[in-house]
Amino acid sequence: MLTLADIQSQINTENFIGGEPVKATASETYTSLNPSDNQPIATFALSNAEDTSRAIAAARKAFDQGPWPRMSVAERVKLINRFASLIEEKAEFLGAIESYDVGKLLGECVGHDVARASANMRFFASKMEQWEDEAYFKDAAFLGRKIKTLSIAKREPAGVAGIIVPWNSPIMLATWKLGPCIAAGNTCVLKASPWAQLTILQLGQLAKDAGIPDGVMNFIAGGAEAGQTLTSHPDVDRVSFTGSVGVGKAVNIANAQARMAPVSLELGGKSPSIVFDDADLDMAVAGVARGIFRSQGQSCVAGSRLLLQESIYNEFMPRLVKEVKAMKIGSQLDSSSQIGPLITKEHLASIERMVQAGVSAGAKATIGGRRPEGVEFAQGNYFEPTIFEEVSSEMEVWQEEIFGPVLCVMPFKDESDAIAKANDSEFGLSSSVWTTDMDRAMTVSSAIESGMTWVNAHFVRDLRSPFGGVKDSGIGSEGGRYSLEFYTRAKMICLTYPR
């Protein structure tokens, strides 16, 4: 395992613009702290409007004058796959950075997130190779002549993309957007959350080493000013944002006021897990626990609301509590840990406030609800996995996204009651249904107001399928052709000839 000293000796903390590391002009800095003990990892400047505009100018030049949009798909695919291979070669290094920086379990960072980063790039490269334009033939008339028309419907790269990713899975979510963006021939500027910049800042040199032309991918560290500039700049043709609802709405407004570029927004979730009395209870208990407590609940698709059919409530809950009590809390670098620290002190304080609000409102913390005791936890951002019972629908803990290891439980009577309670939310990102009755599974899944529903599973992904939400959970979908359609624009060319 790489030590913190190993990482600090190799890490890049500068922006990567136009194919080179570039120092930010901004004076504001941010120091990343290891969530397990809050010791400093690295300090970097938070890019301002000038720094962000410089990155946008590099991307604009690379798109307007550079070779990337003019390359054949096969040429681009070759370089993207080389970039993916370099991610794989650096998996231990990149995974260690992300684990130290974010607090996710090291095994999850290396074995899942970095592996998915490489897979994302390869998938979209392959998907672009399979892209098919369309052509339509029709008989028509023009100026008194009978003619035939051949209308070619093709997709062209959109231009410069402004991409903003959140702090919970930075490298996985960054490549989820970078892959289709550059495979389609675009250039981009990518900014992560100030809380999780370090992995992102390493990608620029890997892109250069892969032979991807300068300016195609630009990476900046930044905060609110950088984000505002990126989402309202007239030279940005697409805006893709993953993050909170409040910021997502602000991004949409800023973009609309600036130049109405198409926007993709993947926002928050308060996802219901619905367990019926005919479910495989062993699988449902394990699946529900994984659905909320993986990554300390810091996931937009976390199953944070549990709806249990009344007839199995008293059997299911003791089994779930036992499952959660057995989870080991510890450093994200310890291979035996199942629950690591939360990302920052500020986020820990937010979780504590939400939990206290639940208690004050009358919810019962059956397990957890506090920081774990012990000297090994004293300096870190640890919080026990928490289960709330006796929750009512008007409570903040039931309605608001907590983004932490907190599960709220409510009983339901029948299918219609379950659907009504599941849909009683401003969010609509994901959901899961646990049942052995496939008619019920399809009926309930279709009735739930969410962009994605799993049946007897959670977190399972097919990269070809749409990923996105409804209501306050966002606009648009990502994945497969949905991503490629967003990063391209449709163009019709009509040829005519006599008939």
Q: Residues 85, 141: contact at Cβ < 8 Å?
A: no
CB 221 within 8 Å of CB 201? yes
**Cα–Cα distance between 101 and 195 in angstroms, integer?**
8
Would you list the DSSP string of 193-227?
-GGG-TTGGGHHHHHHHHTPPTTSEEEE-B-HHHH
Contact 108, 171 (CB under 8 A): no
Q: Which is catalytic among the residues 109, 181, 188, 300?
A: 300
Burial class (CB in 10 A: 0-12, 13-18, 19+), 49: middle
Cβ atoms of 166 and 173 closer than 8 Å: yes
> Rounded distance, CA 224 to CA 356, Å?
29
Active-site choice (266, 384, 389, 401) = 266
Find where tokens 């391209």 sit: 488
CA 356/CA 290 separation, integer angstroms: 24
According to DSSP, the β-strands at 386-389 and 452-455 are unpaired
Residue 266: active-site member? yes
DSSP-based three-state secondary structure for 350: helix
Residue 233: helix, strand or coil by DSSP?
coil
Q: Residue 495, CB half-sphere, CA atoms under 13 Å: how many? A: 7
Report d(CA 445, CA 71) in Å as an integer. Answer: 43
**Residues 358, 4: Cα–Cα separation, whole Å:** 38
Q: How long, in residues, is the chain?
A: 499
CA distances from 427 to 86, 254, 320, 430 (A): 38, 22, 25, 9
Cβ of 479: how many Cβ atoms within 10 Å?
A: 21
473 token code pair: 């959970």
Helices assigned H by DSSP within 103-223: 106-108, 115-129, 170-183, 203-210
Q: What is the CA radius of gyration of the chain?
A: 24
Q: Which two tokens stand for residue 275?
A: 């367990």
Helices then strands (H, E): number in the chain?
Answer: 17, 20
- Structural contact between residues 153 and 210, judged by C-beta atoms closer than 8 angstroms: no
250 contacts: CB under 8 Å, gap ≥ 6:
none
Side-chain half-sphere of 193: how many Cα atoms within 13 Å? 21
300 is known as an active-site residue: yes
8 Å CB contact between 86 and 48: no
Question: Which residues carry out catalysis?
Answer: 266, 300
